[in-house]
Amino acid sequence: MPILQFVERDGILDLGWGHPRPGLLPVRQWQDATRAALDAYDWQALTYGHSAGPQPLVDWLAEHLGTVDALTASPGEFFVTAGASHALTLCATVLAAPGDVALVDVPTYHFALRILRDRGLRLVPVPRDDAGIDVEALGALVDRLRGDGQRIGLLYLVATFGNPTGLSVGEPRRTELVRFARAAGVTIVEDDTYRELGYEGAPPASLWSVDPGGPVVRAGSFSKTVAPGLRLGFVQAGPDVLDRLAGIGYVDSGGGLNHSVALAMATFARSGAYAEHVARVRAAYRSQRDALVDGLRAGVPGLDVPRPAGGWFLWLRLPEGMTAESLMVVAERNGVSFAGGAQFHTDPARGHDHIRLSFSLLSPAGLTDAADRLAAAIRSVAG
Amino acid sequence: MPILQFVERDGILDLGWGHPRPGLLPVRQWQDATRAALDAYDWQALTYGHSAGPQPLVDWLAEHLGTVDALTASPGEFFVTAGASHALTLCATVLAAPGDVALVDVPTYHFALRILRDRGLRLVPVPRDDAGIDVEALGALVDRLRGDGQRIGLLYLVATFGNPTGLSVGEPRRTELVRFARAAGVTIVEDDTYRELGYEGAPPASLWSVDPGGPVVRAGSFSKTVAPGLRLGFVQAGPDVLDRLAGIGYVDSGGGLNHSVALAMATFARSGAYAEHVARVRAAYRSQRDALVDGLRAGVPGLDVPRPAGGWFLWLRLPEGMTAESLMVVAERNGVSFAGGAQFHTDPARGHDHIRLSFSLLSPAGLTDAADRLAAAIRSVAG
């Protein structure tokens, strides 16, 4: 039984893992934050915490989001969770009943599809174009589903630096989508995990900020900015959803979902370590992205290699006629791997013409090497 | 927005909270463990952890349970969770479908009733006598339910130092119950939260140990032994249940459910701090129990005040004709409070003749004072 989720495979540079680069994890700074939090909060850091999360973290979150989004938040809008996937699990529990429809913007985060299925929801992909969800077609879809007697529990999407595409929903599409959601009574769950990892200036304003406390529930995470092993994230929502989250039996039973870590994070944030650390990792991931993109562009001239403006992922359309499955065999023989595109779709027939490459785990040099190996595999399969 | 779940009320000594005494929380030792874990595991403590929990904690758990239960465990039997209530939530998810029956041994942990209801289960109390569940009557109940076409998802109980009663299922009832469960195909979820807080020698062997890997799933916690704010517990189960736990979408998404804290706990345990700490709190809670029991016995001669052999709770039957509700008014006027007994039952008509007193939160002196106030209230209501 191992310590980590990651499984190293001999001789393979694996671009399939959306994991942070080990050297970027703030080991010493977290040691300091934990010590300082226990000095400051003493036994209060170790007993049952407030269900919605401890005030010091929530106060900081409310201020901080004003610096990375379009508007300042209020501390009363938050519920601290054990990460964004946990936030999605809890939101699916309080927003939807088994048998309801979950609308999903595909391709999307593959584990979100599993999490929504775990709740017994029926997944329905929404129509989209290059700027994001096609709101008019979505309206027709919602009418048709409701006409068939189906209840729509939620609409899930990663609007900013999406997983797996790296793309963001454009403006004015964001505003149109939120207005539609309010009018149609559809709750949007906005997975905003990658907001702080933008490499070309400020990220787009969140869907939440279009109509705060309205039809959007935002899920955030410290997994990509600080460290996934801390299991810490949050939900930002209106009072009705927050009340329902706090009313879950196991929440009320145990109090704050990750109390001691939440107080350590508050200390880490207030000390300035958060801002310093995120600036450092943002620069590092930008270099990693460029090493992968530049390597692939050089290695397969003529291939359309996008340069995502943020996040951890590059979504690559394979040359005409090539599938992820056929490429995988040759790529692994060449010492490189990736995630096939089909798992990010609800329809098993779709996505075989794409692969997802994570540039989060490897150093720039490792990514250059991986790009060379992958480019050679693509050239070889393209014959 | 506060930091803690606990809400202090001016002038009230509140025996309603099952929370640890602040002075018993191991603040300095936890600081040391966190620092040492980050020194030892470095970045591995901060990235995505193994779904079932990190090997160092699971290895220690397997050895340790051999010292507090009837047999040594195997590391492959564990799944680390964010506490025992979280363990129950996850077990209810993989063992039962909405609409199934959950059999419950009442009176029982009130939040467990809510957690099982959150899963959409129909709660059915099982027949019991003073030694625990009446296995023959349980068999008849199971036959009747199944005859009515109902599916039984699980049977929940706190077999050792139960909440709220402080009582344990006797022998040979444990063996009979586990044998019945195997024969009938009923999965028992054994909430074993209080095992290490026994005040009169070794606790009874667990239900798990009667037939390891068989019909019992055991849930454990570090909340009562170390600190609830850490949100750390575990499930011990056979391979089928463990596989289903690891297959939950949000588990697979994030890896270990409380990875960094789990590695700190492994370090805390291996350093000897766990054993030393648990010995210290066991002695302290024993004194606290005695202060409450002795105070009540002295204050209301003739009242039947049991002295629970373990755990945090005293389940007090009120004098004939007195209800928890009528006592509460006078008690609070006297500066003391408690948990009324009805919430620990599924039938709203039951439990009004009992109250649950927690002796975990207050010092012996505080408990003596609380016992005096409560005894005066009981005498006053009894007229």
SS3 state of residue A339: strand
The band of A1, judged by pLDDT with boundaries at 50, 70 and 90, is confident
Q: Name residue B315's beta-bridge partners.
A: B356
CA distance A237 to chain B (A): 16
Tell me the C-alpha distance between B349 and A259, whole Å.
36
Buried b (16+ CB within 10 A) or exposed e, A20-49: bbbebbbbebbbbbbbbbbeebebbbbbbb
Cα-to-chain-centroid distance, residue B73: 20
Among chain B residues, the shortest Cα distance to A53 is held by B3
| Residues on chain A touching B31 (C-beta within 8 angstroms) | 34-35, 38-39
Question: pLDDT digit of tens for each residue in chain B (383 aa)?
Answer: 799 999 999 999 999 999 999 999 999 999 999 999 999 999 999 999 999 999 999 999 999 999 999 988 999 999 999 999 999 999 999 999 999 999 999 999 999 999 999 999 999 999 999 888 999 999 999 999 999 999 999 999 999 999 999 999 999 999 999 999 999 999 999 999 999 999 999 999 999 999 999 999 999 999 999 999 999 999 999 999 999 999 999 999 999 999 999 999 999 999 999 999 999 999 999 999 999 999 999 999 999 999 999 999 999 999 999 999 999 999 999 999 999 999 999 999 999 999 999 999 999 999 999 999 999 999 999 98
SS3 state of residue B306: coil
Domains, chain A: 13-18+275-382 (3.90.1150.10), 47-271 (3.40.640.10)
pLDDT in tens, B5-27: 999 999 999 999 999 999 999 99
Q: Does B304 touch chain A (CB under 8 A)?
A: no
| Residues on chain B touching A117 (C-beta within 8 angstroms) | 249
Q: Give, as one character, the DSSP assignment of residue A301.
A: T
Residues A100, A152: contact at Cβ < 8 Å? yes
What is the average pLDDT value for chain B, to the nearest integer? 97
- Interface confidence, given as ipTM, is 0.97
| Residue A195: partners with Cβ closer than 8 Å, 6 or more residues away | A68, A69, A160, A161, A203, A206, A220
Distances (CA, A) of A102 to A138, B46, B98, B344: 13, 32, 18, 36
- Smallest Cβ distance to B47: which of A25, A89, A252? A25
Tell me the C-alpha distance between A170 and A204, whole Å.
8
Q: Does A111 touch chain B (CB under 8 A)?
A: yes
Other C-beta atoms lying within 10 Å of the C-beta of residue A147 = 8
- Residue A219 has which token pair? 């899920």
Are the beta carbons of A31 and B34 separated by less than 8 Å? yes
Tell me the C-alpha distance between A260 and A46, whole Å.
6
Q: Is the dihedral of CA A146, A148, A153, A155 positive or negative?
A: negative
Tell me the C-alpha distance between B267 and B230, whole Å.
14
Residues B309, B161: contact at Cβ < 8 Å? yes
| Residues on chain A touching B249 (C-beta within 8 angstroms) | 85, 89, 111-118
